[in-house]
Amino acid sequence: MAATLLADASIRLENALQHVNISDDAIERLKYPKTSLMVSIPVRMDNGSLKIFRGYRVRYDDTRGPGKGGVRYHPNVSLDEVQSLAFWMTFKCALLDLPFGGAKGGITVDPKALSKAELERLSRGYIEAIADSIGPDTDILAPDVYTNAMIMGWMMDHYSIIYRKIVPGVVTGKPLSMGGSQGRETATATGAFHVINTICEKLGRIPEKTTVAVQGFGNAGAEIAQQLANSGYRVVAVSDSRGGIYAEQGLDIPSIRHYKQENRGIQAVYCEKTLCNIVEHKVISNEELLMLDVDILVPAALENQITADNAEQVKAKLIFEVANGPISSDADQILERKNIVVVPDILTNAGGVTVSHFEWVQNRNGFYWTVAEVNQKLKEKMITATENVWQIYSSKNISMRTAAYVQALNRLGDALDAKGTRNYFVGK
Protein backbone atom coordinates (compact mmCIF):
# COMPACT_ATOMS: atom_id res chain seq x y z
CA MET A 1 0.00 0.00 0.00
CA ALA A 2 2.83 2.41 0.83
CA ALA A 3 4.02 2.31 -2.79
CA THR A 4 0.72 3.47 -4.30
CA LEU A 5 -0.07 6.99 -5.46
CA LEU A 6 -3.18 7.07 -3.25
CA ALA A 7 -1.16 6.17 -0.15
CA ASP A 8 1.32 8.92 -0.99
CA ALA A 9 -1.52 11.41 -1.51
CA SER A 10 -3.06 10.38 1.81
CA ILE A 11 0.09 11.46 3.66
CA ARG A 12 -0.96 15.08 2.98
CA LEU A 13 -4.26 14.32 4.70
CA GLU A 14 -2.45 12.95 7.76
CA ASN A 15 -0.32 16.11 8.00
CA ALA A 16 -3.36 18.38 7.88
CA LEU A 17 -5.30 16.36 10.47
CA GLN A 18 -2.90 17.61 13.15
CA HIS A 19 -4.28 21.12 12.66
CA VAL A 20 -8.06 20.53 12.49
CA ASN A 21 -10.77 19.41 14.84
CA ILE A 22 -13.08 17.05 12.96
CA SER A 23 -14.72 13.80 13.99
CA ASP A 24 -13.16 10.35 13.74
CA ASP A 25 -16.14 9.39 11.58
CA ALA A 26 -15.24 12.02 8.98
CA ILE A 27 -11.60 10.96 8.99
CA GLU A 28 -12.54 7.31 8.50
CA ARG A 29 -14.82 8.08 5.57
CA LEU A 30 -12.17 10.16 3.81
CA LYS A 31 -9.68 7.29 3.80
CA TYR A 32 -11.49 5.35 1.07
CA PRO A 33 -13.16 6.12 -2.28
CA LYS A 34 -16.94 5.75 -2.34
CA THR A 35 -17.02 3.88 -5.66
CA SER A 36 -14.32 2.56 -8.00
CA LEU A 37 -15.49 1.32 -11.38
CA MET A 38 -13.30 -0.59 -13.84
CA VAL A 39 -14.70 -1.38 -17.29
CA SER A 40 -13.69 -3.03 -20.55
CA ILE A 41 -14.37 -1.01 -23.73
CA PRO A 42 -14.51 -2.97 -27.01
CA VAL A 43 -13.59 -0.84 -30.04
CA ARG A 44 -13.78 -1.82 -33.69
CA MET A 45 -10.56 -0.49 -35.21
CA ASP A 46 -10.31 0.99 -38.69
CA ASN A 47 -8.68 -2.19 -40.03
CA GLY A 48 -11.65 -4.28 -38.87
CA SER A 49 -9.97 -5.81 -35.81
CA LEU A 50 -11.47 -5.63 -32.31
CA LYS A 51 -9.44 -4.16 -29.47
CA ILE A 52 -10.37 -4.01 -25.79
CA PHE A 53 -9.38 -0.95 -23.74
CA ARG A 54 -9.47 -0.67 -19.95
CA GLY A 55 -11.42 2.27 -18.51
CA TYR A 56 -11.95 3.64 -14.99
CA ARG A 57 -14.26 6.00 -13.11
CA VAL A 58 -13.84 6.73 -9.39
CA ARG A 59 -16.15 8.82 -7.22
CA TYR A 60 -14.11 9.48 -4.10
CA ASP A 61 -16.62 11.45 -2.05
CA ASP A 62 -19.96 13.12 -2.78
CA THR A 63 -20.86 14.54 0.62
CA ARG A 64 -20.85 18.14 -0.63
CA GLY A 65 -22.45 17.41 -4.02
CA PRO A 66 -22.18 15.23 -7.14
CA GLY A 67 -18.78 13.91 -8.11
CA LYS A 68 -16.73 16.16 -10.41
CA GLY A 69 -13.59 15.32 -12.30
CA GLY A 70 -11.88 14.92 -15.64
CA VAL A 71 -11.23 11.96 -17.91
CA ARG A 72 -7.68 11.37 -19.10
CA TYR A 73 -6.40 9.27 -22.01
CA HIS A 74 -2.85 8.07 -21.36
CA PRO A 75 -0.87 4.80 -21.63
CA ASN A 76 -0.07 4.91 -17.90
CA VAL A 77 -3.63 5.37 -16.60
CA SER A 78 -4.36 2.92 -13.78
CA LEU A 79 -6.95 2.48 -11.05
CA ASP A 80 -4.44 3.72 -8.47
CA GLU A 81 -3.77 6.90 -10.46
CA VAL A 82 -7.48 7.60 -11.00
CA GLN A 83 -8.25 7.05 -7.30
CA SER A 84 -5.48 9.48 -6.36
CA LEU A 85 -6.76 12.11 -8.78
CA ALA A 86 -10.31 11.68 -7.41
CA PHE A 87 -8.90 12.12 -3.88
CA TRP A 88 -7.27 15.41 -4.89
CA MET A 89 -10.46 16.58 -6.60
CA THR A 90 -12.41 16.01 -3.37
CA PHE A 91 -10.18 18.45 -1.51
CA LYS A 92 -9.91 20.86 -4.44
CA CYS A 93 -13.68 21.29 -4.68
CA ALA A 94 -13.96 21.76 -0.91
CA LEU A 95 -11.10 24.29 -0.91
CA LEU A 96 -12.82 26.39 -3.58
CA ASP A 97 -16.17 25.93 -1.79
CA LEU A 98 -17.79 24.36 -4.86
CA PRO A 99 -20.93 22.20 -4.42
CA PHE A 100 -19.14 19.10 -5.71
CA GLY A 101 -17.39 16.00 -4.47
CA GLY A 102 -14.28 14.56 -6.07
CA ALA A 103 -14.20 12.12 -8.99
CA LYS A 104 -11.92 11.16 -11.86
CA GLY A 105 -11.82 8.87 -14.86
CA GLY A 106 -9.47 7.58 -17.48
CA ILE A 107 -8.68 5.08 -20.22
CA THR A 108 -5.41 3.24 -20.60
CA VAL A 109 -4.60 4.20 -24.19
CA ASP A 110 -2.10 6.05 -26.35
CA PRO A 111 -4.51 8.48 -28.06
CA LYS A 112 -1.84 9.49 -30.59
CA ALA A 113 -1.93 5.94 -31.98
CA LEU A 114 -5.67 6.12 -32.78
CA SER A 115 -7.42 7.68 -35.75
CA LYS A 116 -10.07 10.30 -35.08
CA ALA A 117 -12.80 7.77 -35.88
CA GLU A 118 -11.28 5.22 -33.47
CA LEU A 119 -11.02 7.92 -30.81
CA GLU A 120 -14.70 8.74 -31.22
CA ARG A 121 -15.73 5.08 -30.95
CA LEU A 122 -13.55 4.72 -27.83
CA SER A 123 -15.08 7.83 -26.22
CA ARG A 124 -18.64 6.74 -26.93
CA GLY A 125 -17.81 3.20 -25.74
CA TYR A 126 -16.54 4.61 -22.45
CA ILE A 127 -19.86 6.40 -21.86
CA GLU A 128 -21.76 3.25 -22.84
CA ALA A 129 -19.85 1.38 -20.11
CA ILE A 130 -20.21 3.94 -17.29
CA ALA A 131 -23.55 5.63 -18.11
CA ASP A 132 -25.32 4.14 -15.09
CA SER A 133 -22.73 5.67 -12.75
CA ILE A 134 -22.68 9.26 -14.04
CA GLY A 135 -25.15 12.11 -14.48
CA PRO A 136 -25.58 15.86 -13.81
CA ASP A 137 -26.71 15.11 -10.24
CA THR A 138 -24.40 12.13 -9.68
CA ASP A 139 -21.00 12.49 -11.33
CA ILE A 140 -19.97 15.09 -13.93
CA LEU A 141 -17.15 14.55 -16.45
CA ALA A 142 -14.62 17.05 -17.81
CA PRO A 143 -11.49 17.12 -20.01
CA ASP A 144 -8.07 16.19 -18.64
CA VAL A 145 -4.80 14.92 -20.14
CA TYR A 146 -5.21 14.26 -23.90
CA THR A 147 -8.95 14.90 -23.88
CA ASN A 148 -10.56 18.06 -25.25
CA ALA A 149 -13.82 19.82 -26.08
CA MET A 150 -14.52 17.59 -29.08
CA ILE A 151 -14.20 14.42 -26.97
CA MET A 152 -16.41 15.94 -24.28
CA GLY A 153 -18.98 16.70 -26.96
CA TRP A 154 -18.99 13.06 -28.10
CA MET A 155 -19.45 11.94 -24.50
CA MET A 156 -22.32 14.32 -23.79
CA ASP A 157 -23.98 13.37 -27.09
CA HIS A 158 -23.73 9.63 -26.38
CA TYR A 159 -25.13 10.02 -22.86
CA SER A 160 -28.03 11.99 -24.35
CA ILE A 161 -28.63 9.21 -26.91
CA ILE A 162 -28.74 6.58 -24.15
CA TYR A 163 -31.27 8.55 -22.07
CA ARG A 164 -33.18 9.92 -25.09
CA LYS A 165 -32.98 13.54 -23.94
CA ILE A 166 -30.43 16.35 -24.13
CA VAL A 167 -28.36 16.36 -20.93
CA PRO A 168 -25.65 19.05 -21.26
CA GLY A 169 -24.88 19.08 -17.52
CA VAL A 170 -23.38 15.56 -17.51
CA VAL A 171 -20.15 16.87 -19.05
CA THR A 172 -18.28 20.18 -18.82
CA GLY A 173 -15.56 21.49 -21.09
CA LYS A 174 -17.85 20.95 -24.10
CA PRO A 175 -17.83 22.96 -27.34
CA LEU A 176 -19.64 26.29 -26.97
CA SER A 177 -22.21 25.16 -29.54
CA MET A 178 -23.20 22.25 -27.26
CA GLY A 179 -23.54 24.25 -24.06
CA GLY A 180 -19.92 24.86 -23.15
CA SER A 181 -18.82 27.90 -21.16
CA GLN A 182 -16.85 30.87 -22.33
CA GLY A 183 -13.42 30.87 -20.68
CA ARG A 184 -13.32 27.11 -19.96
CA GLU A 185 -10.49 26.38 -22.42
CA THR A 186 -8.05 28.67 -20.57
CA ALA A 187 -9.57 28.38 -17.07
CA THR A 188 -6.84 26.26 -15.46
CA ALA A 189 -4.11 28.62 -16.59
CA THR A 190 -6.10 31.77 -15.80
CA GLY A 191 -6.86 30.51 -12.31
CA ALA A 192 -3.19 29.64 -11.77
CA PHE A 193 -2.18 33.11 -12.98
CA HIS A 194 -4.33 34.75 -10.28
CA VAL A 195 -2.82 32.48 -7.61
CA ILE A 196 0.73 33.26 -8.76
CA ASN A 197 0.06 37.00 -8.92
CA THR A 198 -1.56 37.05 -5.47
CA ILE A 199 1.28 35.14 -3.81
CA CYS A 200 3.99 37.18 -5.57
CA GLU A 201 2.36 40.43 -4.42
CA LYS A 202 2.38 39.19 -0.83
CA LEU A 203 6.06 38.30 -1.13
CA GLY A 204 6.93 41.64 -2.76
CA ARG A 205 8.01 40.07 -6.05
CA ILE A 206 7.97 42.32 -9.12
CA PRO A 207 7.01 40.52 -12.35
CA GLU A 208 9.74 42.15 -14.46
CA LYS A 209 12.38 40.90 -12.00
CA THR A 210 10.93 37.39 -11.66
CA THR A 211 12.16 34.46 -13.78
CA VAL A 212 9.90 31.50 -14.57
CA ALA A 213 10.37 27.95 -15.90
CA VAL A 214 7.33 25.96 -17.08
CA GLN A 215 7.50 22.17 -17.40
CA GLY A 216 4.76 20.99 -19.74
CA PHE A 217 3.69 22.96 -22.80
CA GLY A 218 0.20 21.54 -23.30
CA ASN A 219 -3.03 23.47 -22.96
CA ALA A 220 -2.44 24.65 -19.38
CA GLY A 221 1.35 25.01 -19.49
CA ALA A 222 1.49 27.00 -22.72
CA GLU A 223 -1.35 29.28 -21.64
CA ILE A 224 0.09 30.03 -18.19
CA ALA A 225 3.48 30.73 -19.78
CA GLN A 226 1.86 33.24 -22.14
CA GLN A 227 -0.24 34.93 -19.45
CA LEU A 228 2.82 35.33 -17.22
CA ALA A 229 4.92 36.68 -20.10
CA ASN A 230 2.16 39.11 -21.06
CA SER A 231 2.22 40.45 -17.48
CA GLY A 232 5.96 41.06 -17.51
CA TYR A 233 7.32 37.87 -15.94
CA ARG A 234 10.47 36.62 -17.68
CA VAL A 235 9.72 33.08 -18.87
CA VAL A 236 13.19 31.64 -19.48
CA ALA A 237 12.42 27.93 -20.02
CA VAL A 238 9.60 25.70 -21.28
CA SER A 239 9.41 22.01 -22.16
CA ASP A 240 7.10 19.34 -23.55
CA SER A 241 7.29 15.54 -23.51
CA ARG A 242 10.25 15.58 -25.93
CA GLY A 243 12.42 18.07 -24.07
CA GLY A 244 12.82 21.78 -23.50
CA ILE A 245 14.55 25.05 -24.25
CA TYR A 246 16.21 27.67 -22.05
CA ALA A 247 17.16 31.26 -22.82
CA GLU A 248 18.40 33.50 -20.01
CA GLN A 249 17.11 36.63 -21.74
CA GLY A 250 13.58 35.18 -21.88
CA LEU A 251 11.48 33.43 -24.52
CA ASP A 252 8.86 34.77 -26.91
CA ILE A 253 6.00 32.50 -25.87
CA PRO A 254 3.47 33.41 -28.63
CA SER A 255 6.09 32.54 -31.26
CA ILE A 256 6.89 29.21 -29.58
CA ARG A 257 3.18 28.35 -29.38
CA HIS A 258 2.76 29.18 -33.07
CA TYR A 259 5.79 27.05 -33.97
CA LYS A 260 4.53 24.09 -31.94
CA GLN A 261 1.09 24.27 -33.51
CA GLU A 262 2.66 24.18 -36.97
CA ASN A 263 5.50 21.71 -36.32
CA ARG A 264 4.47 19.70 -33.21
CA GLY A 265 7.68 20.51 -31.40
CA ILE A 266 9.29 23.22 -29.27
CA GLN A 267 11.87 25.57 -30.71
CA ALA A 268 13.13 28.92 -29.41
CA VAL A 269 11.92 31.22 -32.16
CA TYR A 270 10.75 34.75 -32.78
CA CYS A 271 8.00 35.06 -35.36
CA GLU A 272 6.81 37.98 -37.47
CA LYS A 273 3.59 36.91 -39.17
CA THR A 274 4.40 33.56 -40.86
CA LEU A 275 8.20 33.96 -40.75
CA CYS A 276 9.95 32.46 -37.70
CA ASN A 277 13.64 32.80 -36.91
CA ILE A 278 15.52 30.69 -34.37
CA VAL A 279 16.96 32.71 -31.47
CA GLU A 280 19.84 31.85 -29.18
CA HIS A 281 18.91 29.16 -26.67
CA LYS A 282 20.04 26.00 -24.92
CA VAL A 283 18.35 22.65 -25.43
CA ILE A 284 17.53 21.00 -22.07
CA SER A 285 15.69 17.94 -20.82
CA ASN A 286 12.56 17.99 -18.67
CA GLU A 287 14.69 16.93 -15.72
CA GLU A 288 17.17 19.76 -16.29
CA LEU A 289 14.35 22.30 -16.42
CA LEU A 290 13.31 21.30 -12.91
CA MET A 291 16.82 22.10 -11.63
CA LEU A 292 17.13 25.59 -13.15
CA ASP A 293 18.01 28.51 -10.88
CA VAL A 294 14.77 30.47 -11.35
CA ASP A 295 12.42 32.37 -9.07
CA ILE A 296 9.31 30.39 -10.03
CA LEU A 297 9.00 26.79 -11.21
CA VAL A 298 5.68 25.69 -12.72
CA PRO A 299 5.31 21.90 -13.13
CA ALA A 300 2.42 21.57 -15.59
CA ALA A 301 2.94 18.02 -16.88
CA LEU A 302 2.25 14.78 -14.96
CA GLU A 303 2.55 13.32 -11.45
CA ASN A 304 5.75 12.67 -9.50
CA GLN A 305 8.14 14.90 -11.44
CA ILE A 306 9.92 16.01 -8.25
CA THR A 307 10.71 13.17 -5.86
CA ALA A 308 13.22 12.39 -3.14
CA ASP A 309 15.67 11.49 -5.93
CA ASN A 310 15.90 15.00 -7.38
CA ALA A 311 14.39 17.40 -4.82
CA GLU A 312 17.81 18.34 -3.41
CA GLN A 313 18.79 19.75 -6.84
CA VAL A 314 15.73 22.03 -7.14
CA LYS A 315 16.81 25.69 -6.93
CA ALA A 316 13.55 27.58 -7.52
CA LYS A 317 12.31 29.84 -4.72
CA LEU A 318 8.61 29.19 -5.43
CA ILE A 319 6.83 26.22 -6.99
CA PHE A 320 3.27 26.45 -8.28
CA GLU A 321 1.75 23.04 -9.05
CA VAL A 322 -0.33 23.42 -12.20
CA ALA A 323 -0.14 19.64 -12.77
CA ASN A 324 -1.86 17.24 -10.38
CA GLY A 325 0.56 15.70 -7.88
CA PRO A 326 3.87 16.70 -9.53
CA ILE A 327 5.68 16.53 -6.16
CA SER A 328 5.80 13.38 -4.03
CA SER A 329 5.26 13.57 -0.27
CA ASP A 330 8.87 12.65 0.53
CA ALA A 331 10.07 15.46 -1.76
CA ASP A 332 7.80 17.88 0.13
CA GLN A 333 9.91 17.43 3.25
CA ILE A 334 13.14 18.17 1.38
CA LEU A 335 11.74 21.27 -0.32
CA GLU A 336 10.38 22.57 2.98
CA ARG A 337 13.78 22.12 4.60
CA LYS A 338 15.28 24.16 1.75
CA ASN A 339 12.71 26.95 2.40
CA ILE A 340 11.15 26.49 -1.03
CA VAL A 341 7.50 27.55 -0.92
CA VAL A 342 5.21 25.08 -2.70
CA VAL A 343 1.74 26.31 -3.63
CA PRO A 344 -0.25 23.08 -4.02
CA ASP A 345 -2.19 21.72 -6.97
CA ILE A 346 -5.53 21.74 -5.16
CA LEU A 347 -5.29 25.54 -5.13
CA THR A 348 -3.11 26.44 -8.12
CA ASN A 349 -4.92 24.43 -10.78
CA ALA A 350 -8.45 24.79 -9.41
CA GLY A 351 -9.46 27.27 -12.11
CA GLY A 352 -10.52 24.42 -14.39
CA VAL A 353 -13.03 22.88 -12.00
CA THR A 354 -14.24 26.34 -10.95
CA VAL A 355 -15.24 27.26 -14.50
CA SER A 356 -16.60 23.73 -14.94
CA HIS A 357 -18.91 24.61 -12.04
CA PHE A 358 -19.89 27.79 -13.86
CA GLU A 359 -20.64 25.74 -16.99
CA TRP A 360 -22.77 23.27 -15.00
CA VAL A 361 -24.72 26.17 -13.47
CA GLN A 362 -25.26 27.75 -16.91
CA ASN A 363 -26.44 24.41 -18.33
CA ARG A 364 -28.99 24.00 -15.56
CA ASN A 365 -30.27 27.57 -15.87
CA GLY A 366 -30.23 27.74 -19.66
CA PHE A 367 -28.64 31.20 -19.40
CA TYR A 368 -25.03 31.83 -20.47
CA TRP A 369 -22.44 34.38 -19.36
CA THR A 370 -19.96 36.42 -21.38
CA VAL A 371 -16.25 35.61 -21.19
CA ALA A 372 -15.74 38.81 -19.18
CA GLU A 373 -18.32 37.68 -16.62
CA VAL A 374 -16.77 34.21 -16.38
CA ASN A 375 -13.25 35.57 -15.96
CA GLN A 376 -14.33 38.08 -13.31
CA LYS A 377 -16.13 35.39 -11.30
CA LEU A 378 -13.09 33.10 -11.65
CA LYS A 379 -10.72 35.85 -10.48
CA GLU A 380 -12.83 36.49 -7.39
CA LYS A 381 -12.99 32.77 -6.54
CA MET A 382 -9.25 32.17 -6.97
CA ILE A 383 -8.11 35.23 -5.05
CA THR A 384 -10.52 34.50 -2.18
CA ALA A 385 -9.26 30.90 -1.93
CA THR A 386 -5.63 32.05 -2.06
CA GLU A 387 -6.22 34.65 0.67
CA ASN A 388 -7.85 32.00 2.89
CA VAL A 389 -4.94 29.59 2.45
CA TRP A 390 -2.40 32.36 3.02
CA GLN A 391 -4.10 33.35 6.28
CA ILE A 392 -3.93 29.76 7.61
CA TYR A 393 -0.34 29.38 6.33
CA SER A 394 0.74 32.55 8.12
CA SER A 395 -1.18 32.08 11.39
CA LYS A 396 -0.35 28.40 11.92
CA ASN A 397 3.23 28.52 10.55
CA ILE A 398 2.64 25.44 8.38
CA SER A 399 3.31 24.73 4.71
CA MET A 400 1.02 26.14 2.02
CA ARG A 401 0.01 22.58 1.10
CA THR A 402 -0.99 21.70 4.64
CA ALA A 403 -2.83 25.04 4.95
CA ALA A 404 -4.86 24.26 1.82
CA TYR A 405 -5.78 20.82 3.15
CA VAL A 406 -6.74 22.33 6.52
CA GLN A 407 -9.21 24.68 4.83
CA ALA A 408 -10.64 21.85 2.70
CA LEU A 409 -10.83 19.45 5.66
CA ASN A 410 -12.78 21.92 7.77
CA ARG A 411 -15.42 22.19 5.05
CA LEU A 412 -15.52 18.44 4.41
CA GLY A 413 -15.64 17.71 8.12
CA ASP A 414 -18.64 20.00 8.61
CA ALA A 415 -20.53 18.31 5.76
CA LEU A 416 -19.68 14.77 6.89
CA ASP A 417 -20.52 15.51 10.52
CA ALA A 418 -23.89 16.98 9.51
CA LYS A 419 -25.02 13.42 8.73
CA GLY A 420 -24.34 12.29 12.28
CA THR A 421 -21.29 11.24 14.27
CA ARG A 422 -20.49 8.73 17.02
CA ASN A 423 -20.96 11.42 19.64
CA TYR A 424 -24.47 12.15 18.35
CA PHE A 425 -25.56 8.52 18.35
CA VAL A 426 -24.18 7.71 21.82
CA GLY A 427 -25.67 10.90 23.21
CA LYS A 428 -22.47 12.75 24.12
Q: Which one of the listed residues 104, 174, 260, 381 is annotated catalytic?
A: 104
Q: Which residues of 381-414 are buried (b: 16+ CB within 10 A; e: fewer)?
A: bbeebbebbbebbeeeebbbbbbbbbbbbbbbbe
- State how far the Cα of 83 lies from the Cα of 36, in Å rounded to an integer: 8
C-alpha span between 375 and 396 (Å, rounded): 32
Do 122 and 114 contact (CB within 8 A), yes or no? yes
Which residues neighbour 219 within 8 Å (Cβ) at sequence distance 6 or greater?
Answer: 148, 185, 188, 189
Q: Is 112 a catalytic residue?
A: no
CA distance linking residue 141 with residue 54, whole number of Å: 17
End-to-end CA distance of the chain: 35
Please provide the size of the chain in residues.
Answer: 428
380: Cα within 13 Å, side-chain hemisphere: 7
Residues forming the active site: 104
